[in-house]
Structure formats: structure tokens, C-alpha cells
Amino acid sequence: MDLIRTIRSAVMRRLADPARRTQQRLRAEAARQRQGRAHTVLYFHQVDDPYSQLAVQAIAPLLDRYDIQLVPKVVARPTPIAIHEQALWDQWATRECAAIAPFYGLSFDAPAASADLILARRVLLACDEPRDFAQQAMRVNTALHQGSSTALEALGLGRVLPSEAVAAEHLQKHFDLRHRLGHYLGGMFHYEGEWYWGIDRLHYLEQRLDALGARRAGALISPSVMRRQTRPAASIASRRLTLEFFPSLRSPYTHLSYARVAALCQRYPIDLVLRPVLPMMMRGVKADRRKGMYILQDTQREAETLSIAFGNIWDPFGKPILRAYSLFPWAREQGCGFEYLHVYSQAVWSEGVNAQALSGLRGIVERAGLDWAKALEHLDSKDWEAEMEANVQDMIAAGSWGVPTLRLVAGDGEPAFTVWGQDRIWLIEEEIMRRLIAQ
């Protein structure tokens, strides 16, 4: 197991190495120039995917700003191994996209249960020109929201729609292409070996195109899709809010959250409740290999933007995490629960510390301000297991199943408010400000 972990950790470090990404980009650009190709961006659109509905609205402004060839590809739903609990995903994605769309000035309408997805895909497969595709995709979204096959049929008038059989062939080809290039979701942009997820990661694509000199002369310098940011209120209510934080020690995205969650608690009157959970794969959830590769590379980009150290990885999967969690209840009793989890995360995601070795774990414990001799009295206890399982069940009941999850507890007539992902910390802050603004 130690050899397997050593090899796996080395692979993870390699995937997260920014120097590797730089070399890949240099090779890709050299090949593009040598072959005389345009800057070609692939966009994978899933008609019943809420994130695709937002992402497709970025196509026109992206084309206005950059001299690129954008090629839309219609895809069907991902395979079950790529999306855990499809029904939960659908509910979550719909709710989240409805929540974030107004901040970006985008429209969003959830498709009706009666939506004719086969016809919708055929209509979009008949669109080749990217601006036409983007406009038609929004019309398709409206028809799907209305559950109107008649409206979809009207959108197909004057176009040569592929038969259902031919459409199925195209969908399979697009799935195979996305699979071969290394991804599994809709709403994805791909450019020369690198993936950009919808409106959340589009700015990275734009930064790369800018570095290559692909911005059109005289084009707007603003991002193609820009989020409205609310300034903290000058006057807030005196009441306190309770914020639950569901982290996992094997989540690189959680690693990016600790300092920012701590900052929230410093800026606002918040009582933080820690509710750590076991990693998904240790809960029996299978994961697509492509998902893991993408997450590590995406985390590195985000870490650089946030100025958070990341990449010197020692994978704590399995027994090391069980041992780490055995100390958590005791660390929390000492008032060091958050610091303990944060230091552990720093050690395994950015410092390459072998947290399985007692020397490595001791260093983590002592850096968190705890006494190692007393820690040994609690090491490998089982007292934490029931609590961790309860945390998982409560997280799922809140509509989320992944980490990091943040939930503002219901109170003062307000319902609970839940977000999932380190890139939604801004959204929980918006909700915090809304609840605290003095009336």
C-alpha cells in the first residue's frame, strides 16, 4: 500500500505541476502555428444541463472579443460514473444556476419534465455557425422550459434536421471526442489540451487567448461574462448567524476553502460549526479517472489565482484519513478543530507530508497547537464514526453530496441556504450580507 500511495502521490503531483501545464501550452501553440490552424475552441453543449444554458450565453461576447473559431458540439447526458446521483445533480444544478444567473446578468429557465430532448438535440445539431447555434440554443431553452414540442418543431422549420438515428450517431461521436480529450460534463469549453468549465472558468480561457494575442483589435477588455459583486454593507444587524462547514481531508477544493471560510468568520458575526465527512470514494462512490485528473489541474489554476500553496501532494486516502479523523473530536474539544483540519490539509496538499507516519502526524498536531502526548490517547479511536455518518446524511438532506459544502442554518424566519464548492464561497457571502443588512 505504501508503494501504491507513493506512486499515486507522484502522479498527482505531476498532474498539478504548473510547469507541466506551461510546457503543454508551449507545445500546443507551436503545433498550431506549424500547422497553420486558427485558434479553435470546442464547446460541448448539453440541452438539459443548467450549466450549459448559462455557458452558451457566453459564446457571442467571446466571439466579439477574440479571433477564434468556435465549434459547438451537442452532447447527451454523462455516464453514471461521471455523475453521482443524477437526480440529486439535476435538482442541485437547477437550483444553483437559478441562484447565480442574476449575478452574471444571464437568463435561466429550467426545462419542464415533459421536455422533448431528442427533438431539441436534433434542432441544435442542424446549427453549424456558432452565433446561430448560441441564439438557437436559447430559443431551444425557452421551448424546453415550456415543455412545448410544437415550439421546438417551429424552430426546426427551414432547417434540415438529422434523423433520430443520424442524431444519435453525432451524439456518440461528440461523446467519444469529449471522452478522448479528457472530460465528461456539458457546458465545457476546450482549447488546445485544456478544459474550462462554463462561466466559472471562462476567464482562464480568455487569459490564455490574451497571452497568445488573440483578442480582436478594439475589442472590449472586460470579461465575456462578468459577475456583479456586492460591497459589504456599512450597517449590519447585531444578530449572529450559524454557518455549517462540511470539509473533507482528501478534497483539494476543500483545501482552497479553509482560509476563506476563516475570513468570512472574521468579517461577519458568524458562529462556525465544523462537520467533516469522509471522502466520496471512501463512502463507496466510484469516480471517473478523467474527473480526478481535471480536478487536480483545475485546483492548481484556482490556487494560483487565490495565492494558496498547492501541488506538493501526499495522498492521505484510506487509513491516514481515518487516523486523522480519530483525533478530530478531541482537537475540537481543545478549541483547535478548525486549525487542526486546516494544518492537515496544508501538510498533505502543499507540503508533501507523510501523514501516515507518526512523525508526520505529530508535526501536524503540534502545528495546530495541540499536545502530541495527549493526542496519542485518542489516536485510532472510533468515537468519531457515528458523527461523520450523521454529517454525510445531513449534507445529502441539504441537497449536496460533495465538499466543500457550506450551509447557513435556518433562523429568524429565513430558510437554510446551502452552497457546494469553493467557487461558491462568494455566493454564501452574498447571502450572509443579505441576512445581516440592517432594516
CATH assignment at residue 336: 3.40.30.10
Average pLDDT of span 65-76? 98
Residues with Cβ < 8 Å from 429, sequence gap 6 or more?
264
Predicted confidence (pLDDT) at residue 112 exceeds the cutoff of 80: yes
What confidence score (pLDDT) does residue 307 get?
Answer: 98
For residue 112, is it within any domain?
Answer: yes
- pLDDT band at residue 309, thresholds of 50, 70 and 90? very high
Percent of the chain scoring above 90 in pLDDT? 89
Strands 405-408 and 417-420: antiparallel
- Chain-centre distance for alpha carbon 356: 28
68 and 200 share a domain? yes
Indicate whether 248 and 368 sit together in one domain. yes
Is residue 2 situated within a structural domain?
A: no
Looking at the structure, do residues 139 and 41 belong to the same domain, yes or no?
A: yes
- Domain end call among 211, 226, 260: 211
pLDDT at 338: 98
Instruction: Report if residue 29 sits inside a domain.
Output: yes
Q: Which among 189, 211, 233 is the end of a domain?
A: 211
Of 149, 95, 154, 161, nearest in space to 125 by CA: 161
The confidence score (pLDDT) of residue 339 equals 98
User: Into how many domains does the chain fold?
Assistant: 2
Residue 82 has pLDDT above 90, yes or no: no
Lowest mean pLDDT among 60-64, 111-115, 157-161, 213-217: 111-115
pLDDT band of 437, cuts 50, 70, 90: confident
Tell how strand 270-274 and strand 241-246 pair up. parallel
Per-residue pLDDT, 166:
98
**Is the per-residue pLDDT at 77 higher than 70?**
yes
Same structural domain, 136 and 283 = no
Closest residue by Cα to residue 255 from 342, 385, 337? 342
**pLDDT in the model for residue 289:** 86
Phi, psi of 417 (to 5 degrees): -130, 120
Q: What is the pLDDT of residue 35?
A: 98
Confidence of residue 234 (pLDDT cuts 50, 70, 90): low
Mean per-residue pLDDT over the chain, rounded: 95
The contacts found for 280-284 with CB under 8 angstroms, 24 or more apart, are 280/84, 280/248, 280/401, 280/402, 281/250, 281/317, 282/250, 282/317, 282/318, 282/321, 283/392
Q: Identify whether 278 is part of a domain.
A: yes
Q: Are 366 and 244 in contact (CB under 8 A)?
A: no
pLDDT at 327 over 80: yes
In a shared domain, residues 68 and 27: yes
Tell me the CA distances in angstroms from 110 to 86, 94, 133, 141, one per residue in order. Answer: 16, 6, 19, 8
Question: Of 298, 348, 346, 277, nearest to 8 (Cα)?
Answer: 348
Asked whether residue 282 carries a pLDDT value surpassing 60, the answer given is yes
Helix (H) or strand (E) holding 95: helix 86-104
Do residues 173 and 248 both lie within one domain?
A: no
Q: Same structural domain for residues 207 and 250? A: no
31 with 81: CB under 8 angstroms?
no
Domain span at residue 201 reads 13-211
Residue 334 within a domain: yes
Same domain for 133 and 279, yes or no, is no
CA of residue 246 relative to chain centroid, distance: 15
Cell of 122: 436534433
CB 91 within 8 A of CB 210: no
For residue 231, being part of any structural domain is answered with: no
Q: Any idea which of 138-152, 243-257, 272-286, 386-400 has the lowest mean pLDDT? A: 272-286
Hey, is 350 helix, strand or coil?
A: helix
Q: What ranges in 335-406 are assigned the alpha helix state H?
A: 337-350, 358-367, 372-376, 385-397
pTM of the predicted structure, to 2 decimals? 0.96
Co-location of 311 and 164 in the same domain? no
Instruction: Tell me if 135 is assigned to some domain.
Output: yes
Q: Per the domain annotation, does 224 fall within a domain? A: no
The answer on 255 and 204 residing in a single domain is no
The angle that helices 117-125 and 164-181 make with each other, rounded to 10 degrees, is: 80
Given this model, what pLDDT does residue 438 score?
55
Q: Which amino acid is at 202?
A: L
More confident position, 85 or 403: 403
pLDDT above 70 covers a percentage of the chain that reads: 98
Which of 130-139, 179-188, 411-420 bottoms out in mean pLDDT, i.e. has the lowest? 411-420
Residues 203, 294 within the same domain: no
46-55, 80-89, 338-347, 386-395, range with the lowest pLDDT: 80-89
From 100, 405, 417, select the one nearest 257 (Cα to Cα): 405
User: Quick one: 314 and 412 in the same domain?
Assistant: yes
> For 108-112, 351-355, 361-365, which range has the lowest pLDDT when averaged over its residues?
108-112
Q: What is the mean pLDDT of residues 17-45?
A: 98
